[in-house]
Structure 1
Amino acid sequence: MGRTPAWESAYRDYFVARQRSLMRTAYAVLGSWPAAEDAVQTAFTQLYVHWPRIQPGAVDTYARRTVVHACFRMAKQRGRETATGRLPDRPVPGPEGGLERLDLMDALAGLSPRDRAVVALRFLDDLPVAEVARVLDLPEGTVKSRTARALDRLHVVLAPPQTTEGNTHDH
């Protein structure tokens, strides 16, 4: 039996430390835990192959970029399927006119995979615009405009419906 490479311990430590975070990002982009698991497994396989050549300060960027690009490939293969992989379960308003609740993942499903990635990296991973730009290989201005556009769409979808009942004024 051969010896394990010296760098493999660092790789294993990185895997343990970052797997959950990368899974969360992949899930936000794909809307499916099994698909997210596949994307992260693909990314960690590539990370293992290239680990000895990756600069220590660039590991996070490389790992995120690899996960996000795996997500993009998977989303493209899945075509125009709904990102959640399930039909939304909408409650029927009760007699008191209760509002329907929309799940955040259902709202994210309305965004393109690239916009979901921008939102996930900016707000789940709490990355600055410059780092998101590096991960996605986009200009910073594009990251800012995609973020604004995605947040506008999410706001429209997630905002509570405006009702006119009870807002009539007697003059």
Structure 2
Amino acid sequence: MEDYHVAEYRNLENSLQLGPGGSTAVTAIVIDGKDLWIANVGDSRAVVCELGAANQLTVDHEPHVERKRIENKGGFVTTLPGDVPRVNGQLAVARAFGDQSLKAHLSSEPDMRHVPIDATMDFVILASDGLWKVMKNQEAIDLVKTIKDPQAAAKRLTTEALARNSKDDISCIVIRFG
């Protein structure tokens, strides 16, 4: 984990010309078809289909949940009427890459999880919040559970998110098991 922090710091230092933006992320690795490792930062999410039911494998890193850590780093969490909690009134996630103006108050440390793959698991969806803001976990599972081609399933999810007027970036990968 120490190497991760060093690399992330160097990347941030070397990318000052990229501007003030940031990102969340989710990634996965399947080892020998038996083990699934998931890592996420922010509100990019992994959801697995188990016997037709959605099971969220990651935790969304929300400011109100990590308020104490944010405040200990000198930041604050605000919630305006009709809005979600935000770090320093700006960012709706407590963990992210980049976001240089808020970096002192954020964490970029990922949550990691190991899940043994078993016969009850059909596929996993990895997607950014551009999908999850307009679609519930079970809706996403139901939309693509009959689509066998993972690339076609991911395209179907992103197309549906756009049809639902998602205003955020939409990244999506579907991994089928077995």
Point out the structure with the larger strand share: 2
Larger radius of gyration: 1
